[in-house]
């Protein structure tokens, strides 16, 4: 009896071992391509989606004009698998012509799997110019803004990834002629801007407004003020600079301005230009121990960046919000969406307001966009609006539902009256464009709209940016 029991136990043990051995063998037989990238002749990398029998860069399409005749593949195959093309081993040194799809093979012993390789390039309706501008010269900033000035794109940025006492920080300016390759501008003075500085152009002059300075800058200058967040040193004073050539900058703040005659210090101010004036609203600040939005009732205007006028609204409708879309259209100043108080379902503004007298009096054009009166426009914050030939385009932003779930918005909306918004047809959307907050919109030559970066991730109750996109797009607007 004991012998029989022992034999049964051994058989059971062998069965279990065999079962798991078969499972391991089955897993080991899974082979082929695990990950893949397409590398262009000038070194750009585009991620491929690995399907059962196809490799395609459908989620990371190449910029318009890419030479498809000099593509190489960077492939991670499964263990023991060798890649082949035209019966020759396929390596990163193999040059492929992907102007037409071709076939490669994964071989592991007797197992063979074929993959069709296809390259996707953006069309003129929506072209990705760069997947990552930091790979082509731009510094990986903590904040940046871009403007089109005298035939070039200028990017002002701040790298304050380490805010500890005594840490070096970088406040720099870069320029580009194609929105892709960036070169550092050796400015005079050397240090320009701060965290959250924004650019705007008026009368052949490029202005840089706002921004906070942390730590030791490139020149070794140490700021003197301690912030509410406990990070020191930090300067939170109002900052304004200008240039007429992109290189030589003038400080527009003397330090002797009377209180109330210039804006308070701020990051990420909202700027727009109309009738020879720059309009500024809101922004971000540190207070009560955290980053928070400035839900101001008032506007500031200037014609030269030095002398400012505080525009106090006198009407009952007073747009109290931040992170809104601020723009001029049909002779009116508009505020659309945004946040009042802090990020929440109830805090997202659901109305659209306009002012025909530069912000003194306001009317509510749309009371509640959720009623369907404004087409496909849903309440959002962090959206941006650009205008071309009497047509408005809204890009980006984030929604917030009653359950507290946020959703980034990728679709581009269009309006001819500022009140009713509809999404562009799918064919006219930017393919594979990911939703984001506060994208940078820059009107280029003619009907060309540039779209740069934006916030990928944020933290806190007021949307402090923590991770940015560094991609660049072109959109032909009609």
Q: What is the pLDDT of residue 478?
A: 72
Mean pLDDT in residue range 174-191: 95
Cβ neighbours for 270, distance < 8 A, ≥ 6 positions apart: 280, 281, 282, 283, 322, 323, 324, 326
For the segment 124-132, the average pLDDT, to the nearest whole number, is 77
pLDDT for the residue 17: 42
Q: What is the mean pLDDT of the chain?
A: 88
Threshold 0.85, pTM exceeds: no
Q: What is the mean pLDDT of residues 219-228?
A: 72
Q: Which two tokens stand for residue 119?
A: 């390259």
Query: Which pairing describes strands 45-47 and 88-89: parallel, antiparallel, or unpaired?
Result: unpaired
Q: Number of C-alpha atoms within 13 angstroms, CB side, residue 160?
A: 27
C-alpha to C-alpha distance for 321 and 361, rounded to whole angstroms: 16
Q: What fold characterizes domain 126-476?
A: Neuraminidase (2.120.10)
For 289, half-sphere exposure in the C-beta direction (CA atoms, 13 angstrom radius) is 0
What percent of the chain stands above pLDDT 90? 64
Question: What number of CA atoms fall less than 13 Å from residue 212's CA on the CB side?
Answer: 27
Indicate if the pLDDT at residue 25 is higher than 70: no
Q: Give the mean pLDDT of 298-302.
A: 93
337 pLDDT higher than 80: yes
**Residue 185: its pLDDT value, please?**
98
Which is more confidently placed, 135 or 64? 135
Burial of 154 (0-12, 13-18, 19+ CB in 10 A): buried
Task: Quote the pLDDT of residue 296.
Answer: 82
> What is the predicted pLDDT for the residue at 125?
64
For 104-117, b where at least 16 C-beta lie within 10 A, e where not — what string? bbbbbeeeebebeb
pLDDT digits (tens, 9 = 90+) for 448-457: 899 999 999 9
Confidence of residue 4 (pLDDT cuts 50, 70, 90): very low
Tell me, what's the pLDDT at 14?
42
pLDDT at 38 > cutoff 90: yes
CB 297 within 8 A of CB 290: no
More confident residue, 229 or 126: 126
Residue 56: is its pLDDT beyond 70? yes
- Amino acid 43: pLDDT: 84
Question: Which whole number is the average pLDDT over 136-140?
Answer: 94
* Residue 213 in tokens: 């300075």
pLDDT of residue 120: 87
User: CA-CA distance, 157 to 325, in Å (whole number)?
Assistant: 22
Average pLDDT of span 124-151: 89
Sheet holding 152-159, edge to edge: 143-149, 152-159, 170-176, 183-184
pLDDT the model gives residue 227:
53
Q: Average pLDDT, stretch 322-336?
A: 95
- Residue 13: predicted pLDDT: 42
Mean pLDDT of 247-268: 94
Please work out, in degrees rounded to the nearest 5, the angle formed at the alpha carbon of residue 418 by the alpha carbons of 414 and 424: 10
Average pLDDT over every residue of 351-367: 94
Given a cut of 90, whether residue 375 has pLDDT beyond it is no
pLDDT level of residue 229 (50, 70, 90 thresholds):
low
Query: Is 452 within 8 Å of 472 (Cβ atoms)?
Result: yes
pLDDT surpasses 70 at 6? no
Say yes or no: domain 33-118 is CATH 2.60.40.2340: yes
Give dist(CA 359, CA 334) in Å, integer: 9
Name the residue ranges covered by the structural domains of the chain. Answer: 33-118, 126-476
**Mean per-residue pLDDT for 125-153?**
91
pLDDT at position 209 over 70: yes
Report, as an integer, the average pLDDT of 363-381.
Answer: 83
Distance, in Å, from the CA atom of 318 to the CA atom of 435, rounded to the nearest integer, reads 29
What is the average pLDDT across 26-49?
84
What is the pLDDT averaged over residues 387-402?
90
Report pLDDT for 374. 61
What is the mean pLDDT of the segment spanning 199-204?
Answer: 97
Contact predicate 358/350, CB 8 Å? no
pLDDT confidence of 22, banded at 50, 70, 90?
A: very low
Residues 6+ apart with CB under 8 A from 187: 172, 173, 247, 248, 249
Reported as a pLDDT band with limits 50, 70 and 90, residue 119 is very high
Buried b (16+ CB within 10 A) or exposed e, 13-30: eeeeeeeeeeeeeeeeee
Distance separating alpha carbons of residues 414 and 86, to the nearest angstrom: 49
| Confidence check: pLDDT of 212 > 70 | yes
């Amino acid at each position: 009896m004991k012998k029989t029991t022992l034999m049964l136990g051994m058989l059971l043990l062998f069965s279990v071992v065999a079962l798991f051995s078969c499972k391991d063998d089955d897993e080991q037989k899974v082979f082929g391509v695990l990950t893949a990238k397409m590398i262009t002749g000038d070194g750009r990398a585009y991620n491929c989606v690995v399907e059962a029998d196809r490799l395609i860069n459908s989620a990371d399409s190449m910029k318009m004009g890419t030479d498809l005749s000099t593509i190489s593949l960077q492939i991670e195959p499964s263990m023991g698998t060798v890649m082949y093309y035209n019966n020759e081993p396929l390596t990163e040194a193999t040059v492929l012509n992907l102007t037409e799809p071709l076939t490669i093979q994964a071989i592991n012993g007797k197992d063979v799997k074929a993959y069709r390789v296809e390259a996707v390039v953006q069309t003129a309706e929506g072209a990705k110019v760069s997947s990552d501008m930091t790979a082509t010269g731009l510094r990986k900033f903590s904040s940046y803004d871009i403007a089109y000035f005298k035939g070039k794109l200028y990017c002002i940025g701040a790298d304050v990834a380490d805010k500890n006492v005594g840490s070096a920080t970088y406040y720099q300016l870069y320029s580009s002629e194609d929105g892709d390759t960036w070169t550092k501008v050796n400015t005079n003075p050397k240090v320009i801007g701060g965290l959250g500085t924004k650019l705007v152009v008026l009368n052949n002059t490029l202005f840089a407004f706002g921004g906070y300075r942390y730590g030791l800058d490139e020149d070794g200058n140490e700021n003197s003020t301690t912030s509410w967040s406990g990070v020191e040193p930090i300067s939170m004073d109002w900052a304004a600079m200008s240039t007429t050539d992109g290189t030589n900058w003038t400080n527009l703040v003397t330090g002797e301005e009377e209180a109330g005659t210039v804006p308070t210090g701020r990051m990420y101010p909202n700027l727009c230009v109309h009738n020879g004036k720059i309009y500024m609203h809101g922004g971000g600040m540190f207070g009560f121990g955290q980053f928070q939005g400035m839900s101001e009732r008032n506007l500031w205007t200037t014609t030269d960046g030095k002398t400012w006028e505080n525009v106090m609204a006198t009407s009952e409708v007073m747009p109290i919000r931040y992170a809104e879309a601020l723009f001029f259209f049909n002779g009116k100043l508009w505020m659309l969406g945004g946040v009042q108080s802090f990020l929440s379902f109830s805090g997202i503004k659901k109305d659209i307001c306009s002012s025909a007298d530069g912000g003194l009096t306001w009317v509510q054009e749309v009371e509640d966009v959720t009623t369907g009166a404004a087409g496909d426009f849903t309440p959002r914050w962090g959206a941006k609006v650009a205008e071309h030939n009497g047509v408005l385009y809204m890009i980006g932003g984030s929604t917030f539902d009653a359950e507290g779930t946020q959703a980034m918005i990728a679709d581009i909306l269009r309006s001819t009256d500022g009140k009713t918004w509809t999404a562009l047809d799918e064919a006219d959307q930017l393919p594979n464009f990911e939703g984001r907050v506060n994208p940078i919109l820059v009107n280029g030559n003619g009907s060309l709209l540039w779209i740069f970066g934006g916030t990928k991730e944020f933290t806190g109750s007021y949307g402090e940016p923590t991770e940015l996109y560094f991609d660049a797009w072109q959109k032909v607007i009609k």
